[in-house]
Amino acid sequence: MESRAYFCLILHAHLPFVRHPEQDECLEERWLFEAINESYLPLLQVLENLVEEGVDFRLTLSLSPTLMAMLVDPLLQERFIRYLDRLIELAEKEILRNRHHQELLPLSSLYHEKFLTNKRLFQQRYERNLLSAFSHFQTLGKLEIITCPATHGYLPLLKMNPSSVRAQIAVALDYYQKVFGQTSRGIWLPECGYYPGLDQLLRSFGLRFFFLDTHGLAYAHPRPKYLVYAPVYCPSGVAAFGRDQRSARQVWSAQEGYPADPDYREFYRDVGHDLDYEYIRPYLHQNLRVDTGIKYYRITGSGRHKDFYHPPKALARAREHARDCFRSHESYSLFLSRQMDRPPLFVAPYDAELFGHWWYEGPDWLNFLIREIAASGGSLRMITPSEYLERFPINQVVQPAASSWGWKGYNEMWLNSTNKWIYPPLFKAAQLMEFLAARFAGSNAEVRRALNQASRELLLAQGSDWAFIIHNKTCVQYAIRRTIAHLEQFNRICHQVLAGSIDTDWLESIERADNLFPDISFEVYQMDESEN
C-alpha cells in the first residue's frame, strides 16, 4: 500500500579529528568520548531494540571520515575505556555520597548503571568497533550510511582550489569503500554548503544525492514545484533533498524546540562544576573543571533555580513530543498530499550528537517517534533517500541556489572578522599541493610518503570546525593552534620535498599523530585539464 507521506530522518555524525597521542590526556578527545557515551551507544541501543521487536524503520546516517577514523583507532578506543572506568568510579562515589538523599541516590544509580551498560556494549557487544555496529543495520536495510567530505571541509570556501574540493570528496569515498566494502550513494555536504556546479563534481564520483537547506531550493531556478516536499534533480542528474523547516524547528529551535522542555535534563548543570573541588578533582581534566556527564537537574525554567531531574517525567515528555511530532507531520501531510502528484516527503536532518549529548532524552524521543510512525499504518512512513529515488525516479529539474544551513544561510559563519585569516594560507597551501602533485608524480617511495602526509595535513587544516569554533568563541585557542599546526607541518614537508631533504624521523612522528586515511595518495591533487 502506498504511503500518504514519507519521513526521511538524517543524523549527521561528525567530530573533528581530535587524537593526541603526544599527550597522556587530552581535553578535546573528551568530545569523542562524550559523543560515544551519550549519543552513539544510546543510538545503537535504540536501533537494536527496534530490530529485536520487529519495528520497521529507515534512518539515514552520515558518518564523517574523521569520526570514522577515530572510531576505529585503537588508541582512542583504549582511552575511551579509561574514560568510562573513571566515570564508573565517580558514579560509585556518588552513590555513596548520596546514600541518604532521596532524590539524588536514584540518579547516581542510574548513571552508574548506564556507564556499566555502555562499557559492556562497547567492549563485548561491539568489540570496540562502532562502525561495524552501524554497518550491521545497513546490511539489514534499516540504515543508509552516507559519507561526507574527508575532513568536513566547507566546500563553498574551498572552491577557489577545485583540486581541494575534489580531494575532500575522493578521499572520503575511498575511505568509505574501505571501511564498509561498498560505495556511498549520497553525501552530506558539510553545513549543507552548496554552490552551483558542485553537483557536477558529485556526479563525476557517482554520487546520487545530497541535502540542502530550505532556501537552496526556495531560490532555485526554475521555481521548484513542490518546494522541499519532493527532491529535485540538478541539471547534472544528482538529486537534492531540501530540509523541511517545520521538522527543523521542532528539534533545533532553542525557544520552541522539544529539547527546551522544563522536564528535560539540564545540560549546563554538571557535578564537574557543582561539587566540591577536592572531591571532584580526580575526575577533572588536569585540575580544570569540566563536564563529567553526571547531571542532576532538570531545565525547570529560565532562572537560576533548578529542580531535581525526574527521569520518568522526562521519558513521558519524550513520548508526548514524539507523538506531537508524528501528528503534526501527519496532519500537514494531509494538506500537502492534496497539492502534489505523489506523497510529500519530509526531510529532517539533525546533528547526531544532539541526541543524547545535548538533548539527553533525544534517543528516547527518536525511539518513540519511530514507533509512532511504524504504528501509523502507512499514513507516514520512514524512507531513505535512495529508496525514495528508486520509488520516485521522476523529479523536477532545477538549479539549486548557493546556500548553507549556517548562521544567515550563506558563508558568513565561516568567513568573518574572526576567522577570515584562515583562507589565504589555505589557498596558497592548496596551490602548492597542486604544484607538487604534478611535479612529483611517480616519485620514489620516500617522496610519496612525505607528500601523502602533506595531503593529510592540508585536509586537516581545511576542516570547517576550526573556523566555526573560532567564530563561536568556544575553544578558540585550540582551533587556531590546530589550523596553524597543520599548515606549518604541511609547509615544512613541502619545503623538505622541494629541497630534496626529508627528515624521516620527524615525518614519522607526525604520521603517528595524524594517522587518518592510511591509503591516501597525494596524486588526488593532480589537476585535470578543465581545472587548469
Partner 1 sequence: MHASHATANSQNSYPAKERADLSTEWISPLLLLLEVDPRHLYACWEVWPEDLAAIGAQKKDIFQNSQLTLRIIEGEEDNGRQQFGSYFDLPVEGWKNDWYIEVPRSDRLYFAELGLKSLASGEFYVIKRSNVVKTPKNTISSPQCQEKWMKVLGEYETVSLISSEELLAQRPSSKYPISQEMVEEYYRHLLSQHQPKKAAEITRLEGAPAGQYEAAQGKESREPEGLIPTEAAFSEAREQEGLSAPEWSSLASLSSLSSSSFGSSFVASDNLPSSLSSLELGDFFGSPISILSSAALSSYSRGDIRHSEKAASSRLEASFQYDLDLVIYGRTQPGVAIYIGEDAVPVHPDGSFSWRLNLGRQGKHWICLRAQLPQGGEVREFIPIWFQKIRTSGD
Q: Which of residues 391-430 bind partner 1 (CB under 8 A)?
A: 393-397, 401-412, 415-418, 420-421, 423-425, 427-429
| Residue whose grid cell is 581535553 | 27
Segment (H or E) for 347: strand 345-351
Q: How many angstroms separate the CA atoms of 136 and 180, rounded?
A: 10
Smallest separation (angstroms) from partner 1 to the CB of 261: 16
Smallest separation (angstroms) from partner 1 to the CB of 155: 12
Smallest separation (angstroms) from partner 1 to the CB of 397: 4
Smallest separation (angstroms) from partner 1 to the CB of 419: 8
Nearer to partner 1, 316 or 397 (CB): 397
Smallest separation (angstroms) from partner 1 to the CB of 467: 12
Provide the b/e sequence for 154-193 (b: ≥16 CB within 10 Å): bbbbbeebbbbbbbbbbbbbbbbeebbeeebbbbbbbbbb
Smallest separation (angstroms) from partner 1 to the CB of 413: 9
CB-side neighbour CA atoms (13 Å) of 433: 33
Nearer to partner 1, 235 or 262 (CB): 235
Nearer to partner 1, 18 or 487 (CB): 487
| Residue whose grid cell is 555536504 | 189
Please report, for residues 216, 413, 465, the alpha-carbon distance to residue 410 in angstroms, rounded to integers and kept in the order given.
10, 8, 16
Q: How many angstroms separate the CA atoms of 37 and 292, rounded?
A: 11
Q: How many angstroms separate the CA atoms of 513 and 457, rounded?
A: 11
Nearer to partner 1, 134 or 229 (CB): 229
Beta-bridge partners for 298: 265
Smallest separation (angstroms) from partner 1 to the CB of 526: 19
Smallest separation (angstroms) from partner 1 to the CB of 78: 33
Options 339, 474, 504, 509; binder of partner 1; rule CB under 8 A: 339
Options 129, 200, 286, 331; binder of partner 1; rule CB under 8 A: 331
Nearer to partner 1, 484 or 502 (CB): 484
Choose among 292, 274, 259, 367: nearest CA to 34.
Answer: 292
Give backbone dihedrals phi and psi of 286, rounded to 5 degrees, phi first: 45, 50
Binding of partner 1 by 186 (CB under 8 A): no
* Spatial contact of 6 and 344, defined as CB atoms under 8 Å apart: yes
Stretch binding partner 1 (CB under 8 A), from 82-90, 242-250, 441-449, 515-523: 242-250
Chain centroid offset of residue 130 CA? 14
Nearer to partner 1, 279 or 358 (CB): 358
Q: How many residues bind partner 1 (CB under 8 A)?
A: 76
**Interaction with partner 1 in 463-492: which residues (CB under 8 A)?**
480, 484, 487-488, 491
Nearer to partner 1, 280 or 345 (CB): 345
Options 97, 136, 225, 323; binder of partner 1; rule CB under 8 A: 225
Nearer to partner 1, 179 or 401 (CB): 401
**Interaction with partner 1 in 440-459: which residues (CB under 8 A)?**
none
270 contact partners, CB below 8 Å, separation of at least 6: 291, 292, 293, 294, 295
**Interaction with partner 1 in 290-319: which residues (CB under 8 A)?**
none
Smallest separation (angstroms) from partner 1 to the CB of 330: 11
Q: How many angstroms separate the CA atoms of 396 and 232, rounded?
A: 5
Q: How many angstroms separate the CA atoms of 340 and 35, rounded?
A: 40
| Residue whose grid cell is 545503537 | 44
Provide the b/e sequence for 66-92 (b: ≥16 CB within 10 Å): bbbbbbebeebbebbeebbeebbebbe
Please report, for residues 144, 372, 387, the alpha-carbon distance to residue 141 in angstroms, rounded to integers and kept in the order given.
7, 20, 10
**Sign of the torsion angle spanned by Cα atoms 45, 71, 63, 136:** negative
What the block records as the C-alpha cell of 399 is: 538549479
**Interaction with partner 1 in 202-221: which residues (CB under 8 A)?**
203, 206, 208, 213-215, 218-221
Smallest separation (angstroms) from partner 1 to the CB of 435: 9
Stretch binding partner 1 (CB under 8 A), from 1-9, 98-106, 124-132, 244-252: 244-252
Nearer to partner 1, 423 or 478 (CB): 423
Stretch binding partner 1 (CB under 8 A), from 90-98, 363-371, 386-394, 446-454: 386-394
Nearer to partner 1, 98 or 386 (CB): 386
**Interaction with partner 1 in 106-145: which residues (CB under 8 A)?**
none
Please report, for residues 95, 246, 294, 360, 508, the alpha-carbon distance to residue 109 in angstroms, rounded to integers and kept in the order given.
6, 38, 11, 17, 46
Smallest separation (angstroms) from partner 1 to the CB of 249: 5
Options 237, 301, 377, 378; binder of partner 1; rule CB under 8 A: 237
Q: How many angstroms separate the CA atoms of 256 and 530, rounded?
A: 48
Nearer to partner 1, 305 or 408 (CB): 408
Nearer to partner 1, 318 or 467 (CB): 467
Smallest separation (angstroms) from partner 1 to the CB of 504: 22
Choose among 529, 524, 530, 517: nearest CA to 66.
Answer: 517
Nearer to partner 1, 397 or 438 (CB): 397
